[in-house]
Amino acid sequence: MVAVVALLSIPLANIVASLFQAFSDVFSHLASTVLKDYVSNSLLLMLGVACGTFVLGTSCAWLTSMCHFPGRRIFEWALLLPMAMPAYIIAYTYTGMLDFAGPVQTFLREYFQWRYGDYWFPQIRSLGGAIVMFCLVLYPYVFLIVRASFLEQSHALLEVSRSLGRNSWQTFFSVAIPAARPAIIAGMTLALMETLADYGTVQYFGVSTFTTGIFRTWFGLGDITAAAQLSSILLLFITALIVIERRSRSRMRFHAAGNGRSQPARKAIEGWPKYLAIFWCLIPVSFGFALPAGQLLIWVIKTWQDNINAAFFNLVLSSFTLAAVTSILCLTLAIALCFCHRLIASRTSALLLRVGSLGYALPGTVIAVGVLIPFAAFDNAVDAWLIKHVNISSGLLLSGTLAAVIFAYVVRFISVSIQTIESGYAKIHPSIDDSARTLGKRPHQLLSSVHLPMLKTSLLTALLLVFVDVLKELPTTLILRPFNFNTLAVRAYELASDERLMDASSAALAIVLTGLLPVLLLSRNISKPKQQSKPQQQSNPPMNDSENSLRVNL
């Protein structure tokens, strides 16, 4: 565990080491001029995104997992769609539509004969706009994890609450939400980390945050040390966030007690609230996916002849392969880490797990540099050693290879896998481990025959989240990739940042569509095991999934 975390921490260590270098005059210049803006904007952004993703994610998760209304089955997967939409793409798209010169405002002006200054229209490129953009594409993290949690929640808990006279709303707020808290926090943490790491959106919207500051210091002032020092402060931010969160629930644990998984009794919503539920779920789906995807589609129709060719399909293939390899690697490592933590369950192992997952909140660029420098130093050292002793030059072994790219992805995205698997583990009561061990199971048998089957949903979720994240990932690829290697995200970004949004639309839509495949696959698999377990439960009412798997495998 120490070895893996140490390996994963190489880039972070590289960055934190900068704190021990002298603070240059560039840093004091930043501190006296713009640092205040970076801090306040980043905090406001986080606050807004935290509230937005919580409200959207949790409410939709509840509606689709615990209630019944027309279209629920469609919303179950449709609500995941915005996840395939990179934040910078949605930002460009909405700006194109809602900006002062965009079709919406132009129409209003022409229709009402208004001029600039005659009317008020929300400024899309602002802090508020950025918050809305992030909420629209990041709420699925909360939705996905919380929904899994609601489904895995002990329904006896909810039934007790109802039988004690609480209505659905009260049950929701006083039982379901507190019990789903680890999942909610996990989802929100992911969303917030992604927000902190974003560069494309905030840069385009002219909101100066830590990330834009890091880039500015590096690119504008050419001072990579000061940029790394800024990143370290960002890292402190994130660490503080995690510590506060852990403290606040230090002794609270919610494990599903004995009879965990009975089929939820979905409560049917009748009358006008039915339409309200449909409407509510439609909001994120249409604004986070349908509308921007529709706009992209319109652009693709106008430009596809210039952009879709054989080279384009190569892009799809390379993006897909990269995402698949990374997500499997992340999943394997995350299972190993979480399982070790489960076995050891010490403060040290908890700390290691946190350190291993710090990478997610750092901008991809920072991670990439953190990988680039030590890898190149390693390569050059090996080369020098070989030349000295055997007179062979090995050149660069790792730098500029796909291995470096994938390693950087793992550092950045393993947090996603860890968070998801951990929230799954939180629901497996430790007494199950004890029973298995008492019955003579060795640790690896505990993992393979007890934990993995019980974690199935969480594992799939983790796999999907990383897959989509890698598809969207940009700066890491840009900085570390080998010659003649291109991905969809790079193509989309290069064109979009050159303000050729229409030409970027093919690649952007392809990211969205490729992202859809695993989303659909996953949503099918999430609902499948339940349907299979249903007849079993009917035939042996007292037995539940976890006991089943124990019984079958022991």
Partner 1 sequence: MRTPSFTVKYLNTLSCSLISLLLVSSQIVASQTHADQAEVNVYSARKEALIKPLLDKFTEKTGTKVNLVTSKGDALLTRLKAEGKNSPADVLITTDVGRLYRAKRAGVLQSVNIPEIESRIAAQYRDSEGFWYGLSLRSRVIVYAPERVKASELSSYTALANKHWHKRVCIRSSSNIYNQSLVASMIAHNGVAKTDTWLKQFVANFAQPPRGGDRDQIKAVVAGMCDVAVVNSYYLGAMLNSKDQKQVDIANKVKLFWPDQKGHGAHMNISGIAVTKAAKNKQQAIALITFLSSAQSQQWYGAVNNEYPVVSGVKISDTLKSWGTFKADTLAVEKLGDKNNEAVKAMDRAGWK
Task: Choose between 497 and 525: whose C-beta lies nearer to partner 1.
Answer: 497
Closest approach of partner 1 to the CB of residue 96, in Å:
10
Task: Choose between 257 and 351: whose C-beta lies nearer to partner 1.
Answer: 351
117: alpha, beta or left? (left if phi > 0; alpha if psi -120 to 50): left
Closest approach of partner 1 to the CB of residue 394, in Å:
9
Secondary element (H or E) of residue 417 = helix 402-425
Closest approach of partner 1 to the CB of residue 72, in Å:
40
Closest approach of partner 1 to the CB of residue 279, in Å:
32
Task: Choose between 1 and 278: whose C-beta lies nearer to partner 1.
Answer: 1
Specify whether the CB–CB gap between 95 and 125 falls below 8 A: yes
The contacts of residue 198 (CB under 8 Å, 6+ apart) are: 87, 88, 134, 211, 363
The contacts of residue 133 (CB under 8 Å, 6+ apart) are: 87, 90, 91, 94, 201, 205
CA-atom Rg of the chain in angstroms: 25
Specify whether the CB–CB gap between 507 and 495 falls below 8 A: yes
3-state SS, one letter per residue, for 248-300: HCCCCCCCCCCCCCCCCCCEECCCHHHHHHHHHHHHHHHHHHHHHHHHHHHHH
Q: How far apart are CA 349 and CA 5, in angstroms?
A: 10
Task: Choose between 275 and 313: whose C-beta lies nearer to partner 1.
Answer: 313
Task: Choose between 26 and 513: whose C-beta lies nearer to partner 1.
Answer: 26
Q: How far apart are CA 332 and CA 4, in angstroms?
A: 12
Q: What is the DSSP letter of 112?
A: H
Closest CA to 361 of 34, 12, 30, 2: 12
Angstrom CA distances, 475 to 364, 489, 550, stand at: 5, 9, 45
Q: How far apart are CA 31 and CA 33, in angstroms?
A: 6
Q: Determine phi and psi for 268, rounding to 5 degrees.
A: -75, 135
Task: Choose between 174 and 393: whose C-beta lies nearer to partner 1.
Answer: 393
Task: Choose between 252 and 390: whose C-beta lies nearer to partner 1.
Answer: 390
Q: How far apart are CA 513 and CA 293, in angstroms?
A: 10
Closest approach of partner 1 to the CB of residue 321, in Å:
11
Q: How far apart are CA 142 and CA 258, in angstroms?
A: 26
Task: Choose between 270 and 499: whose C-beta lies nearer to partner 1.
Answer: 499
Closest approach of partner 1 to the CB of residue 15, in Å:
13
Within 10 A of 496 (CB to CB), how many other CB atoms are there?
Answer: 24
Task: Choose between 125 and 261: whose C-beta lies nearer to partner 1.
Answer: 125
The contacts of residue 175 (CB under 8 Å, 6+ apart) are: 157, 158, 161, 166
Task: Choose between 224 and 282: whose C-beta lies nearer to partner 1.
Answer: 224
Closest approach of partner 1 to the CB of residue 472, in Å:
17
Closest approach of partner 1 to the CB of residue 405, in Å:
9
Closest approach of partner 1 to the CB of residue 484, in Å:
5
Closest approach of partner 1 to the CB of residue 236, in Å:
23
Chain centroid offset of residue 427 CA? 21
Closest approach of partner 1 to the CB of residue 295, in Å:
13
The contacts of residue 336 (CB under 8 Å, 6+ apart) are: 1, 4
Task: Choose between 37 and 245: whose C-beta lies nearer to partner 1.
Answer: 37
